[in-house]
């Protein structure tokens, strides 16, 4: 854990090109000032620039930057700020990042807000989705979706049993016979559904016992767990410059990765110690029950983990590839 300004951590303390994955959730550009130190949307880009410079400096050429960035509303009106998309454009156009893919974190348990537009006037529905930008210095970051497979649905299992109807579809897609092959699990979509409702885990229990205020804006461990699995190998280094309560560090530790969490608020790091004092196998789970069943990521097979990640899916580079 690093207590201090993460701009200094990335610009001078860490070595150049020493990090395989930056997995982070910076303070959002909200209208109201929060205790964890967010910047207003209209000043967000200027505030973020030094962090972007540091991220570009420490990230390896085939590494990834994953940013969970929540929404904001324009002050006094039922219209959204574009700051998330402006940040994405800035990172790509000014700092040379590529958007590998856009993901979305859906929190089914999120409270309805803003109250004025959602609860009182009933003009809008609740914001329940955060964009999660997966970026890289290259269009070819190392990755494998074989590390994040989910269980096959009942209909797919029935197709394996009864046979697959290959051939053209009305959409124009052609389904080959290989679609009927059991590959150990289904490829997940870019929508990650994860209720953020755990209230009895070791972290919060530790904070209560020690009289430490828990970090108010934690993301669920499901989020860093997914990207750490997909984008890093065992022994790789994961950095979270806005570490908060070190959810990213906890996920990285459990998956055998090295990790660094930077945080400027000492109390948040003191509380984070509780994540690493829990007994192995802590099984705190969300009690959220809703209409959507959150897919469980399957354990990575020994065969899949033995294959080191690369940028081309284990195949030769395509003709469109231009070495950097």
Residue 224: closest CA among 253, 197, 198: 253
- Which of 6, 20, 64, 68 is labelled catalytic? 68
For 80, the token pair is: 């959204």
Strands 59-68 and 19-24: parallel
DSSP category for residue 186:
B
- Which of 25, 81, 144, 245 is labelled catalytic? 25
- Which of 6, 26, 64, 144 is labelled catalytic? 26
Strands 237-240 and 19-24: parallel
**Do 71 and 80 contact (CB within 8 A), yes or no?**
yes
For 69, the token pair is: 């960035």
- The DSSP-derived string for 217-244 is SPPPTHHHHHHHHHH--TT-EEEETT-T
State residue 191 phi and psi, 5-degree precision: -110, 120
CA-to-CA dists, residue 258 to 15, 55, 247, 253, angstroms: 15, 17, 14, 7
26: annotated active-site residue? yes
End-to-end alpha carbon distance in the chain: 33
136: annotated active-site residue? no
CA angle 303, 280, 256 (to 5 degrees): 40
25: annotated active-site residue? yes
State residue 50 phi and psi, 5-degree precision: -60, -35
**Do 216 and 37 contact (CB within 8 A), yes or no?**
no
**Residue positions annotated with a catalytic role:** 25-26, 68
């Amino acid at each position: 854990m690093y207590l201090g300004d993460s701009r200094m951590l990335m610009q001078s303390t860490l070595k150049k090109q020493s990090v395989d994955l930056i997995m982070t959730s910076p303070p959002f550009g909200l209208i109201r000032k929060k205790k964890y130190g967010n910047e207003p949307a209209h000043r967000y880009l200027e505030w973020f620039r030094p962090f972007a410079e540091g991220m570009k400096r420490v990230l390896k050429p085939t590494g990834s930057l994953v940013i969970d960035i929540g929404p904001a509303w324009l002050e006094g009106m039922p219209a959204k700020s574009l700051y998330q998309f402006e940040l994405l454009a800035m990172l790509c156009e000014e700092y040379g990042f590529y958007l590998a893919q856009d993901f979305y974190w859906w929190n089914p348990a999120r409270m309805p807000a803003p109250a004025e537009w959602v609860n009182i006037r009933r003009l809008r529905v609740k914001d329940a989705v955060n964009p999660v930008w997966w970026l890289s210095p290259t269009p070819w970051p190392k990755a494998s979706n074989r590390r994040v497979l989910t269980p096959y649905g009942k209909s797919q299992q029935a197709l394996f049993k009864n046979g697959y109807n290959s051939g053209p579809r009305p959409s124009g897609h052609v389904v080959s016979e290989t679609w009927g092959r059991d590959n150990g699990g289904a490829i997940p979509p870019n929508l990650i559904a994860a209720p953020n409702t755990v209230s009895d885990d070791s972290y919060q229990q530790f904070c209560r016992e020690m009289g430490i205020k828990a970090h108010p804006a934690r993301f669920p461990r499901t989020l860093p767990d997914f990207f750490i699995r997909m984008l890093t190998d065992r022994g790789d280094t994961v950095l979270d410059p806005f570490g908060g309560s070190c959810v990213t560090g906890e996920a990285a530790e459990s998956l055998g990765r090295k990790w660094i969490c930077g945080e400027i608020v000492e109390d948040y790091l003191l509380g984070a110690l509780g994540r690493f004092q829990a007994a192995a196998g802590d099984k705190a789970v969300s009690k959220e029950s809703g209409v959507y069943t959150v897919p469980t990521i399957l354990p990575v097979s020994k065969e899949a983990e033995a294959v080191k990640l690369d940028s081309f899916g284990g195949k030769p580079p395509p003709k469109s590839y231009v070495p950097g």
